[in-house]
Structure 1
Amino acid sequence: MTVLEQGITLDVFVTERAEDVDDLLGMYTNFLLEEFDRIGELAFGNAAAGYLLTSFIRCDDHNIGFFSLDPAGYSVELIYLKPEYRGRGIATLVLQHLKQHCPQQLALKTPLSPGGEALADKLELGRADNLPHEEATNEDVLQVIRAGIKATCKHGKSAGNPSKPCKRCYQKTLRRYAVEALNKVVTETRQVLALRAGTSSRR
C-alpha cells in the first residue's frame, strides 16, 4: 500500500481477492456507461490486462477509484473516480505521484475526456495514441457489438430509428462486455499462477 496523503492510499488490484474483482467490475462498468452517455459509443481502455498494473485509489480504507498503468509504454490506460469523489484533487494527486516515479514522461492514453485533457495540460503529461494493431482490434470489437445489437434488438426499430443502436441494448451489452473482459483477465492470471505453482512443486 502506498500512502499519498492522510486518508488517500493506493493498493494493488489482486485477482485472487473476490472483493477486488467485484469492486473493479463495478467501477469499470460505470466508466463504460458514463462514457457511453458522453460519446454514444464504447470507450476503449482496459481496467486490467496482462500488460497493465492496476491499482485501487482508496479513501479512508474504501475503494473510490482505480487506474491501470502500462509500465512498458509509460502511460496511464485508464483512471477513474466515483462521481462523489471528483473535484477534490484526488486524480491530480495520483497522477502527480505516478509522474514523479516515472523514468520517462508520463502519458495518458487517448482519446481523452475533456477532464482528462485538462489534467494532461495542467500536469504537463504526454498523450499516448493507440497503435495500429490496437486501432484494428478496437474497430473489430465495435463491429461485433453493433452487429450483435442489430441482430437482437427491436427497440430501435420500434422507435423508428433503425440507423442508431438502441441505447437500452447498448448499455446492456456494455455491462456484459465489462464482465467478460474482467473475467478473461482473472481466468488467465489464475492459470498462470497455477502453472507457476505446479512448476515450483516439481523442482
Structure 2
Amino acid sequence: MELPNDVGVFTLDPLDPMLNEQVSLLAAMHYRYLFEELARTGRRAGGCPLAPWLTTLLLRHDGGVVGFVALDVRTRAIELLYVEQPYRRHGLATAALDALSGAMPELLALKAPLTPAGRALAERLGLPVVEPETGQQEAARADLTAWEQNLRVQCRHRRGGRPDRPCKRCYRNALEGYVEDLVVEHAAAIRAGVSV
C-alpha cells in the first residue's frame, strides 16, 4: 500500500520470512532500535519484530527498506514500529499507522512500553496504548533478566565504576547475537509453521 507524506511516496509491504535478505534487513533494523534504546534508557528494550503471531510489514522508500511495523494480529496492537534515523519526523510513522487503521475493522492500538516518541505519536493520533498480555510480560521480563545476568557474567572488562553494567563492546556483541538468534529463530519457526 502506498503512503504519501512530506518526503515522497512510501510503501508498506509484507515481510517474506522465506527471503533471507528481508530477514537480515529486519534483524539489522531491530539491532539499531535496541541499541538506540540502550543509549536512551540504559537497558535493553523489549519487543519482537518477527513471530508467528505477528504480521511484519516493511516500510520502503525509493526501493530501499527504511523501517518496519510489527502488528500483533491477535490483539490488533502494534508490537514495534521503527523508522530509520534519516526518515524520522517526516510523517512516515503517522502515514503507516493511518493506513493500518484504515485497513482494520477494529481500533488499532500501540503495545506498551512505548518510547517517548511512540507515546507522543499515540497521543497525537488518539490511539490507545495496551499492556502486553500477562504471559508475554512475564516471558519478556524473564528473558531480559536472564540475558542481562548472562551478559554481566561474560563481560570481564572495566565498567566505568559500575560493576552492575557491562561494557559497551560486550553489550554490542551480545545484542547483535541476541537479535540474530531472535529474528532467525522466529523466521525459521514461521517457515516451518510452528509457534515458538
TM-score (norm: length of structure 1): 0.88
Task: Identify which of structures 1 and 2 has the higher relative contact order when contacts are C-alpha pairs closer than 8 Å and 6+ apart.
Answer: 2
Q: 2:185 maps to what in 1? A: 184
The aligned residue for residue 174 of structure 1 is 175
- Preserved CA contact (<8 Å) 1:29 1:174: yes
User: C-alpha distance in 2, partners of 1:142/1:74?
Assistant: 24
- Distance in 1 between residues matched to 2:178 and 2:131, nearest whole Å: 23
Comparing 162-171 with 23-32, greater Cα deviation is found at 162-171
Alignment correspondent of 1:200: none
Q: How many residues align?
A: 191
- What is the TM-score when the length of structure 2 is the normalising length? 0.91
Larger radius of gyration: 1
- The answer on whether the counterparts of 2:152 and 2:164 sit within 8 Å (CA) in structure 1 is no
- Which residue identity is paired with 2:171? Y
CA contact (8 A) 1:35 1:43 kept: yes
Aligned to 1:16: 18
Paired position in structure 2 for 1:3: 2
Name the one with the larger helix percent. Answer: 1
Any idea what the Cα deviations from partners look like across 1:41-78, whole Å, max 9, x if unmatched?
Answer: 11111101000000100111111100000121011000
* Uncovered stretches (5+) of structure 1, i.e. residues with no partner: 194-203
Alignment correspondent of 2:91: 89
Q: Which residue in the other structure is 2:132 paired with?
A: 130
| Corresponding letter in the other structure for 1:146 | E
Q: CA deviation at 1:167?
A: 3.0
**Matches of 2:152 and 2:121, distance apart in 1:** 37
- Cα RMSD, aligned residues only: 1.6
**Aligned 8 A contact 1:109 1:128 in 2:** yes
Q: Is the 8 A contact 1:76 1:109 kept in 2?
A: yes
Task: Quote the residue 1:115 is aligned against.
Answer: 117
Query: Matched residues in 2 for 1:160 and 1:41: separation?
Result: 17
Listed one character per residue, the Cα deviations across residues 105-156 of structure 1 (whole Å, up to 9, x for unaligned) are 2110111111111110111001010222112111211221122122211124
- Whole-angstrom CA distance in 2 between matches of 1:61 and 1:147: 41
Kept after mapping to 2: 8 A contact 1:107/1:128:
yes
User: 1:76 maps to what in 2?
Assistant: 78
Query: What secondary structure is seen at the aligned counterpart in 1 of 2:193?
Result: helix
- Counterparts of 1:174 and 1:20 in 2: how far apart (Å)? 19
Partner AA of 2:17 in structure 1? T
- Show structure 2 runs of 5+ residues with no match: none
Secondary structure of 1:150 counterpart? helix
Contact 2:110–2:127 (Cα < 8 Å) also in 1:
yes
Q: Percent identity of the aligned residues?
A: 32
In the alignment, is the contact (CA less than 8 A) between 1:76 and 1:108 conserved in 2?
A: yes
